[in-house]
Amino acid sequence: MIARTNMITRLFTFAAMLVGIGQVGAQNLVALPKAALKQSDTPEKIELGKKLYFDPRLSATGTVSCNSCHNLMEGGDDGRATSMGVNGLTGPRNAPTVWNAVFQASQFWDGRAVTLEEQAKGPMVADVEMGMLGHDQVISRIKDIAGYTNDFQIAFKNDDAVTIENAVEAIAAFERTLITPNSALDRYLDGDEHAMSETQIRGMELFESIGCTECHSGPALNGWDIGSDAEFVEFPRFDTSPFVQAYDLATDLGRSQATGDNTDDHLFKTPTLRNVTLTAPYLHNGRVSSLAETCRLMASTQLDVELTDREADDLTSFMSALEGEFPEMTFPRLPSRSGESVIQAKVGSAINDQS
């Protein structure tokens, strides 16, 4: 694993040279881009994706939307240790934030989806999340909602446009708008040396000097080499750390559960640290409520460093410099199941049917 994380450092250093980072004390950090759209992400696709993202009717019970566990009014997560899906069922891992997910090399804690599109397919049909029986049922549900067919036709310029591939493309297009630039760190990196407090700068210097940036680098502080295995790191790495037992860190085998390859045991995707102050509780199992405690835990298990209270506070303060600007968003109007479709359709009467 050390080889893999060193590879990140090398790649990062190379990339950092290319973009010419110069701010003192921030050698391994870069500002978040202010846009992440693909050329094919039209306003119509984004708006459709927003509707689908917020529509609880894409779940078996009609109660769980993407936003239920990845709440855009909060940190893009749900504030729970593990998420609660349909019928009160809970999953095994903590919901990662959707904010800046476009800058992740892969999605899910085990990285089993490489793209946002592939990720979006998962929860719809996971029995403890949205609980649909299959993507055919999802599409059938969408087709039952008058208004969506038209939205799909306009977004994809195709009469037969209501497909799962188009649905997740629209959701991903919307998710590519979910970025939070202009954090204190970003403004600092852009040259405003007063953007961060002294404590935050001290925390940033510590973050670099003890080696956090070996993994938490790049614009989202989640590993730089997007698209490769390099984003995955062994966790816990120093398994004699007392935190391992205290927070049950060795039970979940991580990536190997997705790949079936036991050389992937205990590998986890490096999560973004953007807005991490807003996404308690922490870790893949959501067992740690305090961010300072999480900093101690990560230093101990990954770097074999025991932090003082002041160092943990400084690091936590630096994390607060990673809170970005959240775009102002308007609510979508979700198309109705009834409305015109009921009005126009010849609706049978239970009474008439009986007579």
Which residues carry a binding-site annotation for heme c? 66, 69-70, 212, 215-216, 298
**Closest separation between CB of residue 75 and a copy of itself, Å?**
7
Q: Is 129 a catalytic residue?
A: yes
Return the amino acid letter for 126: A
CB of 227 to a copy of itself, least distance (A): 31
Q: What is the per-residue binding string for a copy of itself in 57-96, x denoting contact by CB under 8 A?
A: x---xxx----x--xxxxx--xxx---x-xxxx-------
Q: How near is the Cβ of 239 to a copy of itself at its closest, in Å?
A: 15
Give min distance, CB of 72 to a copy of itself, in A.
Answer: 7
C-alpha–C-alpha distance, residues 227 and 249, integer Å: 26
Nearer Cβ to a copy of itself (39/354): 354
| H-run or E-run covering 33 | none
- Pick between residue 173 and residue 312 the one whose CB is nearest to a copy of itself: 312
177 binds a copy of itself (CB under 8 A): no
SS3 315: helix
For 67, the token pair is: 């936003």
43 contacts a copy of itself (rule: CB under 8 A): no
Shorter beta-carbon distance to a copy of itself: residue 92 or 113? 92
In Å, what is the CA distance from 4 to each residue of 29, 49, 106? 19, 36, 16
Among 2, 19, 133, 246, binds a copy of itself (CB under 8 A): 246
SS3 state of residue 343? helix
Nearer to a copy of itself, 81 or 173 (CB): 81
According to CB under 8 A, which one of 102, 164, 267, 278 is a site residue for a copy of itself?
278
The pair of structure tokens assigned to 236 is 């816990």
From the list 48, 51, 79, 46, the residue with the least C-alpha distance to 65 is: 51
Per rule CB under 8 A, count of chain residues that contact a copy of itself:
66
Helix (H, G, I), strand (E, B) or coil at 90: strand
Quote the CA–CA distance of 173 and 36 in Å, as a whole number: 10
- Of positions 25, 56, 92, 211, contacts a copy of itself by CB under 8 A: 56
- The answer to whether 268 and 251 are in contact (CB under 8 A) is no
**Beta carbon nearer to a copy of itself, 185 or 230:** 185
129, 175, 214, 293: the active-site residue: 129
Ramachandran region, residue 180 (left: φ > 0; alpha: ψ -120 to 50; beta: rest): beta
Q: How far is the CB of 179 from a copy of itself (least distance, A)?
A: 16
Which are the contacts of 349, defined by CB distance < 8 A and separation ≥ 6?
none
Closest distance to a copy of itself from the beta carbon of 106 (Å):
26
Question: Which C-beta is closer to a copy of itself: that of 112 or that of 337?
Answer: 337
Could you say which residues in the range 286-305 bind a copy of itself, by CB under 8 A? 289-293, 296, 300
d(CA 67, CA 64): 8
Find out whether 273 and 100 touch, Cβ atoms under 8 Å.
Answer: no
Q: Report which residue type is found at 188.
A: Y
Per DSSP, 105 falls in state S
Going by the annotation, the residues of the binding site are: 66, 69-70, 212, 215-216, 298
> Which of helix, strand or coil describes residue 286?
coil
DSSP 214: G
**39 is an interface residue for a copy of itself by CB under 8 A:** no
Partners of residue 95 on adjacent β-strands: none
Q: Taking a C-beta distance cutoff of 8 angstroms, is the pair 36, 179 a contact?
A: yes
Contacts with a copy of itself, residue ranges (CB under 8 A): 54-57, 61-63, 68, 71-75, 78-80, 84, 86-89, 242-243, 246-247, 277-280, 289-293, 296, 300, 309, 312-313, 316-317, 319-320, 323, 326, 328-334, 336-340, 342-343, 346-351, 354
